[in-house]
């Protein structure tokens, strides 16, 4: 058994100071639903945990003003059932309610959810694992070791944004909805406070798949903001998975549209389950804007989103499934204008 030091911070400054003093093997903890899991697998082996739950105000949910603002420690379930979100921003609420189980949603935070690591079985049981050392090479766990998913069992892997070093899918639902809504991530670290668009928060794997987020190790997420928009009411998060509950997406789409009669004025479309990062489908958006929305046009939008997709050995199904998920999501969102 390895000893672990523990600090319960009461301010942002104290949390960052404790992290900086503890060194690279420190980790922040809030809900802990992901970190504990990764610790059991040997993926994470922190020597010092800094508990953020004592910092006042980090769980606040503010729906007044020009933006929705979610404190990083707000619980998934609390955000999902906040009336202004549940009724006015279905894409956000549905992305949370279709994730995990009710027990986890009552424990997990919306800030921590952004930092989920991949569910790739080679990552979770690969190079460096206490039980399967060296059996499955994984560049995310041991840079330069290789990627067992390439040429391996890749049904659940990415067809968009993959590289020769990694094809692991970004697993979250909430980040996909936030990508569609152009969310801003607020951070605090040794250099003070800063903000970053969610589109710049996640990194494509390239040759360095172990570097997943554009965030300093000592920085922590303090809040997420979403600008209010007329498109939010006509929105949905549509998720297809192997089983109805407690499963990650094979393909999902977060869609929000603004309609002028039957014509699409604006569209926001992001994809999950098919890419290495939460994926903004700009080509799909451009396909529908300024045109009457029909099932045929919705399918064209889906086809546009996957025009440059690249399948592996077993995951070509994701391209056909994904384009149909986009098409269905567009029609579901548009029908909510009634």
Task: Give residue-wise pLDDT tens across range 305-335.
Answer: 999 999 999 999 999 999 999 999 999 999 9
Mean pLDDT across 274-301: 98
| CATH 3.30.390.50 assigned to 230-332 | yes
Close Cβ partners of 242 (under 8 Å, ≥ 6 residues apart): 250
pLDDT score at 127? 56
Task: Give residue-wise pLDDT tens across range 60-111.
Answer: 999 999 999 999 999 999 999 999 999 999 999 999 999 999 999 999 999 9
Q: List every span in the chain annotated with CATH 3.30.43.10.
A: 5-54
For residue 286, pLDDT beyond 80: yes
Q: Which CATH architecture has domain 5-54?
A: 2-Layer Sandwich (3.30)
pTM here is 0.96
pLDDT tier at 184, thresholds 50, 70, 90? very high
Task: Give residue-wise pLDDT tens across range 133-161.
Answer: 457 899 999 999 999 999 999 999 999 99
For residue 225, pLDDT beyond 80: yes
């Amino acid at each position: 058994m390895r000893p672990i030091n523990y600090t319960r911070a009461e301010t942002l400054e104290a949390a960052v100071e404790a992290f900086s003093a503890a060194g690279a093997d420190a980790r922040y903890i809030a809900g802990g639903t992901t970190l504990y899991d990764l610790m059991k697998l040997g993926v994470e082996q922190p020597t010092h945990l800094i508990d953020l739950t004592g910092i006042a105000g980090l769980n606040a949910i503010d729906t007044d003003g020009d933006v929705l603002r979610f404190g990083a420690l707000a619980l998934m379930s609390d955000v999902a059932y906040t009336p202004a979100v549940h009724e006015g921003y279905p894409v956000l609420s549905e992305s949370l309610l279709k994730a995990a189980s009710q027990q986890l949603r009552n424990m997990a935070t919306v800030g921590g959810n952004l930092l989920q690591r991949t569910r790739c079985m080679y990552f979770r049981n690969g190079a460096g694992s206490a039980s399967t050392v060296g059996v499955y090479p994984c560049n995310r766990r041991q840079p330069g070791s290789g990627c067992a998913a390439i040429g391996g069992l890749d049904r659940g892997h990415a067809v968009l944004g993959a590289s020769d070093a990694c094809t692991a899918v970004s697993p979250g639902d909430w980040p996909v909805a936030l990508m569609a809504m152009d969310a801003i991530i607020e951070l605090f670290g040794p250099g003070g406070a800063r903000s970053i668009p969610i589109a710049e928060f996640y990194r494509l794997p390239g040759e360095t798949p172990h570097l997943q987020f554009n965030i300093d190790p000592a920085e922590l997420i303090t809040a997420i903001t979403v600008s209010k928009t007329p498109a939010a009411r006509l929105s949905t998060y549509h998720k297809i998975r192997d089983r109805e509950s407690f499963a990650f997406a094979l393909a999902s789409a977060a869609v929000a549209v603004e309609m002028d009669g039957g014509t699409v004025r604006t569209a926001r479309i992001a994809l999950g389950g098919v890419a290495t990062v939460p994926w903004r489908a700009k080509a799909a958006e451009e396909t529908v804007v300024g045109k009457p929305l029909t099932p045929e046009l919705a399918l064209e939008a889906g086809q546009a989103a996957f025009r440059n997709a690249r399948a592996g050995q077993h995951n070509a199904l994701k391209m056909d499934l994904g384009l149909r998920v986009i098409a269905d999501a567009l029609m579901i969102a548009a029908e909510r204008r009634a």
